[in-house]
Amino acid sequence: MKTSFLRIFAFSALVVLTNCKDTAKEAVTEEAKEAAVAEETAVSYRANTDKSSIAWKGFKPTGSHNGTINIAKGEVRVADGAIESGNFAIDMKSIVVLDIPMDNEKNADLTGHLKSADFFDVEAYPNAMFEVTGMSTENGQTMLSGNLTMKDATNNISFPVTTSIDGNTMTLTSETFSIDRSKWNVKYGSKSFFDNLGDKFINDDIELKVTLVADMI
């Protein structure tokens, strides 16, 4: 009897550990800062919205969902291969769910829920905004910092990126990082706001991976 109990306990623990995968490292999050100002000699690049996007992944005790969000527009100013200033808009109405087949009604249900006032309230807040506040090197990594405005809140985040320039095209790719959605008042199913959720909660951490392709103006 004791052996059977231990086996059941071990199996249950394995399931919990499997479903509660650790998310990527959270971006350093601070109060909003002043936007960066580029030197006059910096070169301007405009976001290629057909090639730029943000991949996202959200977690709950029973698994995860993932998808993409489009970058609506943006411009950065670059000098010596480094971004000196810039901003881009994120089209929150473009949220797409990829892990559920498009013809499955659960895809539409989840997409609609994410766009609703429970989550990102895209009717009231159609765009999120990112404004560059600086770039730095920390422990051998290039860190991009900027003010992320989502819904009615703005916080400064810093995350690792790589940049490259090929002819007239600049590409910025971030490492996968996470943000704590509760800091932008995305409250649904969050233990940061509700204490009676049991195992029906949704993790506060959302994983993001940014790909920004921009062409010289």
Residue 198, SS3 per DSSP: coil
* Span 147-158, average pLDDT: 98
* Span 161-167, average pLDDT: 96
Cα gap 187→118, rounded to integer Å: 7
pLDDT at 4: 45
**Parallel, antiparallel or unpaired: strands 169-174 and 127-138:** unpaired
Q: Is 41 exposed, middle or buried, given 0-12, 13-18 or 19+ CB atoms closer than 10 A? A: exposed
pLDDT at 11: 38
Q: Is 192 exposed, middle or buried, given 0-12, 13-18 or 19+ CB atoms closer than 10 A? A: middle
pLDDT at 61 exceeding the cut of 70: yes
For residue 22, name the pLDDT band (cuts at 50, 70, 90). low
pLDDT at 148: 98
pLDDT at 196 exceeding the cut of 90: no
pLDDT at 15 exceeding the cut of 70: no
Tokens of 185: 């008042």
Tokens of 161: 């990126």
pLDDT at 52 exceeding the cut of 70: yes
| H runs (alpha helix) in 116-163 | none
For residue 200, name the pLDDT band (cuts at 50, 70, 90). confident
Answer yes or no: are the C-beta atoms of 190 and 181 closer than 8 Å. yes
Mean confidence (pLDDT) of the chain: 91
Answer yes or no: are the C-beta atoms of 124 and 150 closer than 8 Å. no
Answer yes or no: are the C-beta atoms of 107 and 100 closer than 8 Å. yes
Tokens of 104: 């499955």
**What domains sit in the chain, N to C, each tagged with a CATH number?**
23-216 (2.40.128.110)
Cα gap 177→26, rounded to integer Å: 6
Give the CA angle between residues 194, 197, 201 to the nearest 5°: 95
